[in-house]
Amino acid sequence: MADDARLLEELRFKSSLLDALNEASINGVLVVDAGGRILSVNKRFIEMWGLAPEALASGCDETALEAVLGKIVDAKGFLERVRHLYGHPDETSSDEILLRDGRVFWRWSAPVLGKDGRRYGRVWHFRDNTELVRAETMRAELKQKRELSALKDQFVGTVSHELRTPLAIVMTAVDSLRKGLAGPLGPRQQEVADVCHRNLQRLNKMINNLLDISRLESGAAKARLERVDLETLARDVEANFRMMGRGRDVALRVEIRGPLPAVRADPELIAQVFDILLDNAERYATRGIVLRLGAESGRAGGHEAAGVRAAVCDDGPGVPPDRVGLLFNKFTQVARAVGGGGYKGTGLGLAICKEILGLHGSTIGVETLPDGGACFSFSFPPGSRARRPSAPEDARG
Ligand SMILES: Nc1ncnc2c1ncn2[C@@H]1O[C@H](COP(=O)(O)OP(=O)(O)OP(=O)(O)O)[C@@H](O)[C@H]1O
Ligand SMILES: [Mg+2]
């Protein structure tokens, strides 16, 4: 009698353990005997399939099957698989089921075999893989988008490169015409030649911008770092700006808050950044632009050291705060020049600045000054200070 009681107790314990394990599973679990009767079903299974109590009340698998079929996209395929497995009791199977409400279930089924070789029936596991499948789909789409974008960039780079040679030839030819080298021009012809010249300049700038951004983004463009005296560089940029004056009465002032330490930079690329910022500022300024360079203290290698902060500020309308984050993206033009008939640039200038400064370990930012006007600025941190006066370093190496 005592043995019987112990056995009964052990049986109870094992049965409760089995139930607890079933309930703890993240899968919906259904166990059916060889005759199609439901032996066990957990709460997760009922939740996943949204089953009403009557669907399981009879304890018959067929009733449960009927209740779920309406929720499945390929109900026929689902049923065929079930029938096939009931006809082949030793088979194990796994597949994915798409539900009408968009969910995706993973289904796994295997025979339940005792250690003594006895067949108890079949177990069905269902797992809700909807989020997983969604994440995988998004990852695949993102990868495809990246590949397409790289292909597009490569195409734009190649086309821009190929356009440069014929464009240079046409520009030289039109220039010769304008200067009367191919014979004297009447006022009307002169006017037409001048229009051609202006538009070719614009086209040239656009193509150069496209080529620059494509080379910078692909990593083909590298910075040749060398010791640079930014004050001298700023004076050259200023002289260039005056020479290229576009007829607007906008004054440029270079302000040096020195003495400035030399920095390690690529002078051509940094001059290009200033040119782009001045080109923009000149379009928006009312009366004046300031190119400011100032020493900036910080720490490098555990020591106090000096870096340089550079800024190009104008007295134009400034940049709306909610657009600041967008400005440095490619092809972004936030606003047309005030009163202008619509400036048709590429929207690449600031993206080029961002890439160039990235090559120098620096970032560019913009703020709108209290009395209006945009101020674009970036730093050469103390660590970028040139150490050896006459040893240019080529980052290309
Ligand atoms: N100084 C500024 N003041 C106000 N807005 C500016 C200023 N500089 C740039 N922006 C805004 O940022 C946009 C992007 O400038 P970006 O230099 O990238 O392109 P773009 O000047 O329009 O074209 P591109 O450089 O090809 O001539 C400009 O179209 C303008 O809306
Ligand atoms: Mg620009």
**Percent of the chain whose predicted confidence (pLDDT) is above 90:** 62
Q: Which two tokens stand for residue 382?
A: 């103390």
Confidence category of residue 77, pLDDT binned at 50, 70, 90: very high
- Distance (Å) from CA 387 to ligand 2 centroid: 34
Q: Does residue 8 lie in a domain region? A: yes
Distance spanning both ends of the chain, measured CA to CA: 90
Is the confidence at residue 387, as pLDDT, over 60? no
Distance CA 104, CA 72 (A): 10
Distance CA 170, CA 152 (A): 27
Distance CA 317, CA 322 (A): 14
Distance CA 367, CA 32 (A): 69
Same structural domain, 251 and 166: no
Domains held by the chain: number = 3
Q: Which of 201, 211, 280, 332 to mutate to test the pocket of ligand 1 (most atoms within 8 A of CB)?
A: 280
Instruction: Tell me if 37 sits within 8 A of 31, measured CB to CB.
Output: no
Q: Which residues contact 316 (CB under 8 A, 6 or more apart)?
A: 281, 283, 284, 285, 286, 338, 372, 373, 374
Same structural domain, 165 and 295: no
pLDDT of residue 119: 85
Distance CA 101, CA 58 (A): 27
Helical residues (DSSP H) of the chain, grouped into ranges: 2-24, 43-49, 53-57, 61-69, 75-87, 130-178, 187-218, 230-243, 267-284, 324-327, 349-359
Confidence category of residue 392, pLDDT binned at 50, 70, 90: very low
User: Structure pTM?
Assistant: 0.67
Q: Which CATH number belongs to the domain containing residue 352 in this structure?
A: 3.30.565.10
Instruction: Tell me if 105 sits within 8 A of 49, measured CB to CB.
Output: no
pLDDT, tens digit (0-9, with 9 covering 90-100), for 26-46: 899 999 998 889 999 999 999
The residue whose two tokens read 């009557």 is 54
Q: Which CATH number belongs to the domain containing residue 204 in this structure?
A: 1.10.287.130
DSSP label at residue 27 = S
pLDDT, tens digit (0-9, with 9 covering 90-100), for 143-189: 999 999 888 888 888 888 899 899 999 999 999 999 999 899 999 99
Does the C-beta of 334 come closer than 6 Å to ligand 1?
yes
Beta bridge partners of 222: none
Does the C-beta of 233 come closer than 6 Å to ligand 1?
no
Same structural domain, 181 and 299: no
Same structural domain, 7 and 119: yes
Rg of the chain in Å (alpha carbons): 37
Q: From 106, 128, 150, give the residue that closes a domain.
A: 128
Q: At 200, give phi and psi (nearest 5°).
A: -70, -35
Distance CA 85, CA 93 (A): 8
The residue whose two tokens read 């689902």 is 78
Q: Which atom of ligand 1 is nearest to the CA of 280?
A: 8
Q: Does residue 395 lie in a domain region? A: no
Q: Which CATH number belongs to the domain containing residue 15 in this structure?
A: 3.30.450.20
Distance CA 148, CA 134 (A): 21
Q: From 105, 128, 151, give the residue that closes a domain.
A: 128
Does the C-beta of 267 come closer than 6 Å to ligand 1?
no
Same structural domain, 237 and 208: no
pLDDT, tens digit (0-9, with 9 covering 90-100), for 85-104: 999 989 999 999 999 999 99
Instruction: Tell me if 386 sits within 8 A of 228, measured CB to CB.
Output: yes
Q: From 79, 95, 128, give the residue that closes a domain.
A: 128
Half-sphere exposure of 262 (CA within 13 A, CB side): 16
Q: Mean of the per-residue pLDDT values for the chain? A: 88
Confidence category of residue 338, pLDDT binned at 50, 70, 90: very low
pLDDT of residue 383: 59
Burial class (CB in 10 A: 0-12, 13-18, 19+), 208: middle
Distance CA 194, CA 203 (A): 14
Instruction: Tell me if 261 sits within 8 A of 376, measured CB to CB.
Output: no
In terms of residues, how long is the chain?
Answer: 397
Q: Does residue 391 lie in a domain region? A: no
Does the C-beta of 237 come closer than 6 Å to ligand 1?
no
Helix-helix angle 187-218:130-178, to 10 degrees: 150
Distance CA 56, CA 20 (A): 20
Distance CA 122, CA 85 (A): 9
Q: Which of 208, 314, 350 to mutate to test the pocket of ligand 1 (most atoms within 8 A of CB)?
A: 350
Q: Does residue 113 lie in a domain region? A: yes
Q: Provide the pairing of β-strand 226-228 with 303-314.
A: unpaired
Same structural domain, 120 and 233: no
Q: Does residue 73 lie in a domain region? A: yes
Confidence category of residue 23, pLDDT binned at 50, 70, 90: confident
Q: Which two tokens stand for residue 217?
A: 């983004």
More confident call, 217 vs 340: 217
Same structural domain, 341 and 261: yes
Range of 247's domain? 226-384
Does the C-beta of 345 come closer than 6 Å to ligand 1?
yes
Q: Does residue 339 lie in a domain region? A: yes
Q: Give the ligand with the smallest distance to the CA of 374.
A: 1
Same structural domain, 12 and 48: yes
176 in the Ramachandran plot: left (φ > 0), alpha (ψ -120 to 50) or beta? alpha
Same structural domain, 199 and 85: no
Q: Which helix (H) or strand (E) holds 374?
A: strand 374-380
More confident call, 141 vs 390: 141
Confidence category of residue 394, pLDDT binned at 50, 70, 90: very low
Does the C-beta of 348 come closer than 6 Å to ligand 1?
yes
Cα–Cα distances (Å) from 143 to 129, 138, 140, 149, in that order, read 21, 8, 5, 10
pLDDT, tens digit (0-9, with 9 covering 90-100), for 375-386: 999 998 775 554
Closest to 378 (Cα-Cα) out of 391, 394, 393, 366:
366
More confident call, 381 vs 17: 17
Q: Which atom of ligand 1 is nearest to the CA of 343?
A: 22
Same structural domain, 90 and 206: no
Same structural domain, 235 and 300: yes
Q: Does residue 293 lie in a domain region? A: yes
pLDDT, tens digit (0-9, with 9 covering 90-100), for 196-250: 999 999 999 999 999 999 889 988 888 999 999 999 999 999 999 988 876 678 8
Q: Does residue 397 lie in a domain region? A: no
